[in-house]
């Protein structure tokens, strides 16, 4: 029988519990406090922490019931130790420590970003060779070389200003599309033209390709959109949404495929909340097929924050024989992406 791992995720506004048996997903319960933050136009850390405290026990109970197991069947507990909002992370770490200690089971404090990537291995086979990973979420955008998701990740590049998801959220606010902005722009763009406005692709000049080929910048794009709206008061919102989205998608994939080519790695994983974007998924599928690159993207509901991804990484750590996190540990709000676990 494969080991059962319970994963706890509280790095932002989702109190999320996932349970896996080996690589089979048994439960994926998400209690989100997003509605409580919407009127502030962004996540308020204190509200998120309090919501985690209230949601934690019911979410664990529901996940255990949905999995048709009892708490005692759990072989290991995994928890997001960082990066994220420190107060929010602490609720998860304290809950996971209590649960692991009470059950007498090992506890893995894992990296939220590595977890985003590893959730893919619940649906697709884990690559047996190195892969390039494009990680695009609300707080991070990076290009990584993943040699082994349980311990060997190299950063090739990252955003120099806004994260990709943050850019979606900011533009959605300007376009009065609400929060979170990614899904709203995705929806609005369906009826717009992606070629209506030629927005800039950040860090793609000849000099940029020579000096920072795998870094991203979205602040110039944000300014360009704001200027366009000022200059064209009768703009068609769906066209702006679609053209903005196209600029983000284009540059993300240009750099991802360039990284594959330069490293000779013919496998690409796209993960994080922005990987749920329908245009990114479609263009990635097209361009990877053309370039002979094997593409993996988790199902859309596993791209945004969830507990299954934490359980998945815990399960991979356990089966790889990686040591559990020893003793009491703190959450690390700025845990670097290369550090897969504590």
Q: Which residues bind ligand KG4 (CB under 6 A)?
A: 12, 137-139, 165-166, 168-169, 180-183, 186, 272-274, 276-277, 304-305
Closer Cβ to ligand KG4, 76 or 306, answer by number: 306
Burial of residue 176 (CB within 10 Å: 0-12, 13-18, 19+) is: exposed
Q: Taking the complex as a whole, how short is the minimal distance between the CB of residue 70 and ligand KG4, in angstroms?
A: 30
Does the footprint of Zn ion cover residue 305 (CB under 5 A)?
yes
H or E, element range at 312: helix 308-319
Please choose, out of 45-53, 90-98, 161-169, 305-313, the segment that lies near Zn ion by the rule CB under 5 A: 305-313
Burial of residue 321 (CB within 10 Å: 0-12, 13-18, 19+) is: exposed
Residue 79 contact, options Zn ion, ligand KG4, none, Cβ 5-8 Å cut-off depending on partner type: none
Q: Taking the complex as a whole, how short is the minimal distance between the CB of residue 238 and ligand KG4, in angstroms?
A: 15
Residue 13 contact, options ligand KG4, Zn ion, none, Cβ 5-8 Å cut-off depending on partner type: none
Closer Cβ to ligand KG4, 83 or 106, answer by number: 83
Closer Cβ to ligand KG4, 12 or 64, answer by number: 12
Please choose, out of 44-52, 250-258, 285-293, 300-308, the segment that lies near Zn ion by the rule CB under 5 A: 300-308
- Cα distances from 263 to residues 102, 134, 146, 206, 208, in angstroms, run 46, 14, 12, 19, 18
Two tokens, residue 331: 């959450």
How many angstroms separate the CA atoms of 47 and 13, rounded?
9
Does the footprint of Zn ion cover residue 188 (CB under 5 A)?
no
Residue 182 contact, options ligand KG4, Zn ion, none, Cβ 5-8 Å cut-off depending on partner type: ligand KG4
Closer Cβ to ligand KG4, 189 or 265, answer by number: 189
**φ, ψ of residue 56 in degrees (nearest 5):** -55, -60
Closer Cβ to Zn ion, 7 or 106, answer by number: 7
Any residues with CB less than 8 A from the CB of 278 and at least 6 apart, and which? 186, 190
How many angstroms separate the CA atoms of 165 and 126, rounded?
26
How many angstroms separate the CA atoms of 260 and 262, rounded?
6
Q: Taking the complex as a whole, how short is the minimal distance between the CB of residue 246 and ligand KG4, in angstroms?
A: 12
Residue 107 contact, options ligand KG4, Zn ion, none, Cβ 5-8 Å cut-off depending on partner type: none
How many angstroms separate the CA atoms of 25 and 5, rounded?
10
Closer Cβ to ligand KG4, 167 or 265, answer by number: 167
Could you say which residues in the range 134-153 bind Zn ion, by CB under 5 A? 137
CA atoms within 13 A on the CB side of 105: 23
Two tokens, residue 238: 């769906």
Closer Cβ to ligand KG4, 181 or 314, answer by number: 181
Does the footprint of Zn ion cover residue 267 (CB under 5 A)?
no
Any residues with CB less than 8 A from the CB of 14 and at least 6 apart, and which? 30, 31, 32, 33, 34, 304, 305, 306
Does the footprint of Zn ion cover residue 166 (CB under 5 A)?
no
Q: Which residues of 94-130 are buried (b: 16+ CB within 10 A; e: fewer)?
A: bbbbebbeebebbbbbbbbbbbbbbbbbbeeebbeeb
Q: Taking the complex as a whole, how short is the minimal distance between the CB of residue 341 and Zn ion, in angstroms?
A: 16
Outline where 160-305 has alpha helix (H): 164-174, 181-189, 206-211, 219-231, 237-263, 278-291, 300-303
How many angstroms separate the CA atoms of 155 and 79, rounded?
23
Closer Cβ to ligand KG4, 169 or 215, answer by number: 169
Residue 83 contact, options ligand KG4, Zn ion, none, Cβ 5-8 Å cut-off depending on partner type: none
Closer Cβ to Zn ion, 165 or 192, answer by number: 165
Q: Taking the complex as a whole, how short is the minimal distance between the CB of residue 111 and ligand KG4, in angstroms?
A: 11
Residues that bind Zn ion (CB under 5 A): 137, 305
């Amino acid at each position: 029988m494969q080991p059962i791992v319970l994963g706890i995720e509280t790095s932002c506004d989702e109190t999320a519990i996932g349970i896996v048996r080996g690589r089979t997903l048994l439960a994926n319960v998400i209690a989100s406090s997003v509605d409580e933050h919407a009127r502030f136009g962004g996540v308020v850390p204190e509200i998120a922490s309090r919501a985690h405290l209230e949601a934690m026990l019911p979410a664990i109970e529901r996940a255990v019931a949905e999995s048709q197991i009892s708490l005692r069947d759990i072989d290991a507990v995994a928890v997001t130790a960082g990066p994220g909002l420190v107060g929010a992370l602490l609720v998860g770490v304290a809950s996971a420590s209590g649960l692991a200690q009470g059950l007498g089971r090992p506890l893995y404090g894992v990296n939220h970003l590595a977890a985003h990537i590893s959730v893919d291995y619940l649906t697709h086979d884990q690559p047996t060779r190195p892969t390039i990973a494009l990680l695009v979420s609300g707080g991070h955008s990076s290009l990584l070389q993943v040699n082994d998701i349980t311990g060997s990740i190299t950063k090739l590049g990252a955003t120099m200003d806004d994260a990709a998801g943050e850019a979606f959220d900011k533009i959605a606010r300007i376009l009065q599309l609400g929060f979170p902005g990614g899904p709203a722009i995705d929806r609005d763009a369906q009826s717009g033209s992606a070629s209506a406005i030629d927005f800039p692709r950040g860090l793609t000049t000849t000099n940029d390709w020579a000096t920072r080929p795998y870094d991203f910048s979205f602040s110039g794009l944000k300014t360009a959109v704001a200027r366009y709206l000022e200059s064209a008061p009768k703009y068609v919102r769906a066209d702006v949404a679609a053209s903005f989205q196209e600029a983000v998608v284009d540059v993300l994939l240009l750099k991802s495929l360039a990284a594959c080519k330069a490293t000779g790695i013919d496998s690409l994983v796209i993960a994080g909340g922005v990987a749920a974007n329908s245009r990114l998924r479609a263009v990635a599928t097209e361009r990877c097929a053309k370039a002979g690159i094997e593409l993996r993207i988790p199902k859309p509901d596993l791209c945004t924050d969830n507990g299954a991804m934490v359980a998945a990484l815990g399960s991979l750590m356990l089966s790889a024989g990686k040591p559990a996190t020893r003793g009491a540990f703190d959450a690390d709000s700025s845990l670097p992406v290369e550090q897969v676990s504590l």
